[in-house]
Chain A
Amino acid sequence: MKPSVYKNSRDVFLDVVNVNDYIQLERISNIYQSFKDSIEKPFKMILLYGKPGTGKSMFLSKLYHSLQYSQKICLYKTPILDESEFFKTLAQDLYNLKYNNELNFTQFMKVVENRELGTAIPLILLDEAQLYSIAMMEKIRLLSDTRKVKFIIALHKTEKEDIVAKEHFKSRIWESIQLENAPASELRIYIQKKLMRANCIDTADMFTKKSINLIHKLTDGNYRNTNKLLYTLFDIYMYYKDSNPSKIKGSEISTKIIEMSAIHTGLINA
């Protein structure tokens, strides 16, 4: 096997949110479809939550890219923590209103309320919403109450989730979607589909049920951890290909190298 195969395989698992790398998995596809259907409904807020690395960001990106040409949609991958800056950015993106001075919540509410509804309600996607303050989250709720703007917020399962879950807040959430880690069978499809998309068929064949089970055991089916582990794994394969090819003679992924990758990425505490 050429060294370039390992390099290409390694690069497949670079931990970046790229819509082009989105892997169509059956379970995720079903969730995505129900999510899209929810958008059509007159909801106020949609909560998308799950552990880090379960694909929330990718989920929002995919939605953004699929709807950006059909309706007004804004994606904020990183939270805007300054309140004035947050409202100024929304005014700019939603209504093309540029404010040089401060824009507080009251002023922005007036702007939103005075806007006439078009064919579709503008959609605002907020990733990493757990970083917003509680006060800011309350203001977002009040904005969604105007029914002139829709919010989809993605957050980790942290303390903030409890705030969102409060009764007065909960009543405003029409849809709540939880993303979970992948089971072993799904993880295998995920890895092999990723590699085959990059034409790394040989390396894709090297993943047996045994090696997938080990990877699943180590990563618990977390996509981000799996990406990190496999990136390191192919990095080690590249090293051995250059220095000691006898160590990677087998036709299957070496258990030893999987464990070494897990040690390097911190999944195994050695």
Chain B
Amino acid sequence: MLNVHDLEIRHKKYKLKLLIPYFVISAVLMVMLVSMIFFLSYNFEYKIALENEKQLQNQPTVMQEVVKPIAKNENITVVKDENLTSLEEVQLQPAATKENIQTSPMQTEEKIEEQEKVILSPSLNFINNIKSQAAKKENSVIHEEIKKPAPQMRKKEDTSAFKIEEVKQTAVQPQKNQEEIIPLKVEEVLTTTPKIENKNSIKIERKNDDDIRDVLNRFNINHNPALSLFVAKKYYQMDEYEQAYNYALITNGINNNIEESWIIFSKSLVKMNKKDEAVEMLKKYIAHSHSSQAKQLLEEIQTGKFK
């Protein structure tokens, strides 16, 4: 007797049996796929881990590399770290500044105090660059000396133990810290001969009006005498002596110990045909500061060399 119900059940089982190979193949493929993905991701993670490990291994040398250029320009950062071994100091310090390593702890403390006192000041690299451009035009060499207002630093000048002659590298590492610290440097003699300029500076062509406007904006914000001095010098170069006089006066009003400001102030007076006033002002300043540059200018005015 035909049992159709039983046949239906057996047929279902038969169909399932037929599908088993497909299930098995699919399962095997899935397992292979998953294992491949796992293997690939594992490899990827392993590579990343290796790279990280390499990076970690390389990290100390990288740190040294980062520190080195700062140490070259900033004597203080090296001297500050008293915990460094002498060997490390030698490695970090350029040969020219080895003398600084030997400076006494007292001197370094003084330097730090000076730094803390100063707030923000414009980068003199910028000024020097413009100066060098101007100097290029005139085919002349300008020697400028910027003396630190701090008395402690002047002592060092007298002893000549902390003199550094630097050729300014205007484009190299324009870090904020550098901008703050550079004005504190004791003495800078800028030789703007074309040869050096080509090597160490990047020429940036800018309009004078834009420069002055930009610097004035900055000056209005922070009333930094270096900025007003820059404007005064700029106006002097542009033969606008009244404006040069005004900004030199403003600079002196903020800080009356800036030699260059007094020089520009006096020169502007001479140019404005106020030679007597200029001589009088220079004499007062020389009496106060004993500035050799001011003395030289006074002599030139009096002898008529400077008109």
Interface of A toward B, CB cutoff 8 Å:
232, 235-236, 239-240, 243, 256, 259-260, 263-264, 268, 270
Q: How far is the CB of B2 from chain A (nearest CB, A)?
A: 5
Residues of chain A with a CB closer than 8 A to B7's CB: 236, 260, 263-264
Is B47 interfacial (CB-CB < 8 Å)? no
B5 to chain A, nearest CB (A): 10
Query: Which residues on A sit within 8 Å (CB–CB) of B10?
Result: 260, 263, 270
Offer 5 A-B interface pairs, CB within 8 angstroms, sorted by A.
A239-B2, A239-B4, A260-B8, A263-B11, A270-B14
**How many of B's residues come within 8 Å of A, CB to CB?**
9
Q: Which residues of chain B are within 8 angstroms of A240 by Cβ–Cβ distance?
A: 4
The contact string, 1 if C-beta is below 8 Å from chain A, for chain B 1-31, is 0101001101101100100000000000000
Given the known interface contacts A260-B8, A263-B7, A264-B7, the answer about A232 and B2 at a Cβ–Cβ threshold of 8 Å is yes
- The answer to whether A235 and B2 have CB atoms under 8 Å apart is yes
Please give me the residue from chain A that is nearest to B7 by CB atom. Answer: A260
Partner among A232, A243, A260 whose Cβ is within 8 Å of the Cβ of B11: A260
**Do A270 and B13 touch (CB < 8 A)?**
yes
CB closest chain-A residue, reference B15: A259
Q: Pick the most buried of B10, B11, B14, B17: most chain A CB atoms within 10 A of its CB.
A: B11
**Cα–Cα, bound, A67→B133 (Å):** 133
Q: Give every chain A residue within 8 A of B14 (Cβ-Cβ).
A: 259, 263, 268, 270
CA–CA, A268 and B14, complex, Å = 9
- What separation, in Å, do the CA atoms of A243 and B2 have in the docked complex? 13
Contacts beyond the supplied A263-B7, A263-B14, A264-B7: 11 A-B pairs with Cβ under 8 Å: A235-B2, A236-B4, A239-B2, A240-B4, A243-B4, A260-B4, A260-B7, A260-B8, A260-B11, A263-B11, A270-B10
Question: Is chain A's binding surface mostly helix, strand, loop or mixed?
Answer: helix
Residues of A within 8 A of B13 (CB): 270
Least CB distance from B16 to A in Å reads 10
> Closest residue to A236 on the B side, CB-wise?
B4
Q: Which residues of B contact A264 (CB under 8 A)?
A: 2, 7
B2 & A256 in contact (Cβ 8 Å cutoff): no
User: Residue on A with the closest CB to B9?
Assistant: A270
Are A270 and B2 within 8 A (Cβ)? no
Bound CA–CA A259/B7 (angstroms): 9
**CB <8 Å contact, A270 and B4:** no
CB distance from B278 to the nearest CB of A (A): 119
| C-alpha spacing A109/B91, complex, angstroms | 130
CB distance from A77 to the nearest CB of B (A): 29
Contacts of A232 in B (CB 8 A): 2
The 6 closest A-B pairs by CB, nearest first: A270-B14, A260-B7, A270-B10, A239-B4, A260-B11, A263-B10
In the complex, residue of chain B having the shortest beta-carbon distance to the beta carbon of A232: B2
CA distance A39 to B13 in the complex (A): 53
Bound-state CA distance A64–B2 (Å) is 36
Specify the chain B residue showing the minimal Cβ separation from A239.
B4
Which B residues lie within 8 Å of A268 (CB)?
A: 14
Complex interface: chain B residues within 8 A of A243 (CB)? 4
Within 8 A of A (CB), among B10-68: 10-11, 13-14, 17
- Cα distance, A240 to B14, chains bound together (Å): 20
Closest CB of chain A to B40's CB: distance in Å?
A: 43
Q: Mark B116-133, 1 if CB is under 8 A from A, else 0.
A: 000000000000000000
A267 and B281 alpha carbons, distance in the complex (Å) = 128
Min CB–CB distance A245 → chain B (angstroms): 13
Q: Give the complex CA separation of A260 and B7 in angstroms.
A: 6
Cα separation A243 to B13 with both chains bound (whole Å): 22
Closest to A243 in B: B4
Residues of the B chain whose Cβ atoms lie less than 8 Å from the Cβ of A239: 2, 4
Tell me the residues in window 181-216 of chain B with beta carbons closer than 8 Å to chain A beta carbons.
none
Instruction: Pick the most buried of A239, A256, A260: most chain B CB atoms within 10 A of its CB.
Output: A260
Which chain A residue lies CB-closest to B13? A270
Distance between Cα atoms of A127 and B7 in the complex (Å) = 36
A231 to chain B, nearest CB (A): 10
Which residues of chain A are near B17, meaning CB under 8 Å?
A: 270
Q: Tell me the complex Cα distance, A256–B8, Å.
A: 9
